[in-house]
Amino acid sequence: MKIGNSIMALMVALPFVVSAPNVMAATAEGVVLDSVHIDSGDTPSLQRGAALFVNYCLSCHGAAYMRYERLAYDLDIPMETLAEDFMFTTDKPGDLMKTAMTEDDAKEWFGVAPPDLTLVSRVRNNEWLYTYLRAFYLDENSPNGWNNSLFENVAMPHVLYELQGAQTLVGHVETDEGAAVETSAHQNIVGDTIFEIQKVGKNSPEEFDMAMRDLVNFLSYLAEPAQLQRRSIGIWVLAWLAVLFVVSFLLKKEYWRDIH
């Protein structure tokens, strides 16, 4: 048994020892992302996120694996509201959330087709999305006037301009410890990038961050609608297994009483 334990300990410890230098290298060259606390149980947040998505994103990006109906069902959106505020007039509730833009048009306008966003939160991750959506800035050298500090030379314009306003790139936060950065009221830090606010939008910076949290919350839901049920079912399943464990354990003890 002792040998077993030491082998186990070795098994757990070693890969980290062997590979510690690699791990450090990986984070050193990695990009800095802002963390975001999303909550799939926060239905009002999901509703606001869904509204943002439909109003600002669906014109270019599809969510072509998702049905409108499911939104109404999962996010407590009444059917009339769904039809009025969320769907194109020609759509039926059972339809997939496809974009109106054809791929050929998109390619002509942007050079690349905007990717489908149904699963984007699972391909990237929520922190990436949260940082990306807040990192657009004015750039004269870009064909559409916008760039993004996380996704350089992105073909997507800053579609949330009216909400966030406009900002320009100042530089990067020193990542070395001790070099705390002074930020004025006119500055905004996203990831490790400092922006100068040029024009205030409809939202204050805090409001815009909250709105982006809602949008990311929605994108995360969109990527896996089942997460709404999966955790709550999971708790019951594990609780039931715990009971079963006690029963099976006692049964085994009873049978094995006379085996020595």
Partner 1 sequence: MSNFMEWVDRRFPATKVWNEHLAEYWTPKNFNFWYYFGSLAMLVLVIQIVTGIFLTMHYKPDASLAFASVEYIMRDVPWGWLMRYLHSTGASAFFVIVYLHMFRGLIYGSSREPRELVWLIGCVIFVTLMAEAFMGYLLPWGNMSYWGAQVIISLFDVIPYLGPILTEWIRGDFVVSDATLNRFFAFHVIALPLVLCALVFLHIVALHKVGSNNPDGIEIKDNKDENGKPLDGIAFHPYYTVKDLVGVVVFFMVYLGVVFFWPDGSGVLLEKDNFAPANSLQTPPDIVPLWYFTPFYSILRASTSDFLLILTVITGVAAVATFFIDTKRSNKISAFICYALLAVGLSIFDAKFWGVVMMGSAIVVLFLLPWLDKSPVKSIRYRSMPFKIAVGIFVIAFISLGYLGMHPVSELSTIQAQLCTILYFSFFALMPFYTAWGKTKPVPTRLT
Binding site for ligand HEC (CB under 6 A): 56-57, 59-61, 110, 112, 114-115, 117, 120, 123-124, 129, 132-133, 154-157, 159-160, 215
| CB-nearer residue toward ligand HEC: 60 or 72 | 60
* By CB under 8 A, residue 112 contacts partner 1: no
Structure tokens at 254: 């009873």
Q: How far is the CB of 88 from ligand HEC (least distance, A)?
A: 14
Partner in contact with 224, chosen from partner 1, ligand HEC, none, beta carbon below 5 to 8 Å by kind: partner 1
Among 124, 127, 196, 210, binds partner 1 (CB under 8 A): 124
Residues ≥6 apart with Cβ < 8 Å to 160: 56, 133, 136, 201, 208
Partner in contact with 56, chosen from partner 1, ligand HEC, none, beta carbon below 5 to 8 Å by kind: ligand HEC
- Only segment of 41-49, 146-154, 194-202, 234-242 that touches partner 1 (CB under 8 A): 234-242
Q: How far is the CB of 172 from partner 1 (least distance, A)?
A: 22
Q: How far is the CB of 120 from ligand HEC (least distance, A)?
A: 5
Binding site for partner 1 (CB under 8 A): 3-4, 6-7, 10-11, 14-15, 18-19, 21-22, 25-26, 64-67, 70, 115, 118-119, 122-125, 223-226, 230-231, 233-235, 237-238, 241-242, 244-245, 248-249, 251-252, 255-256, 259
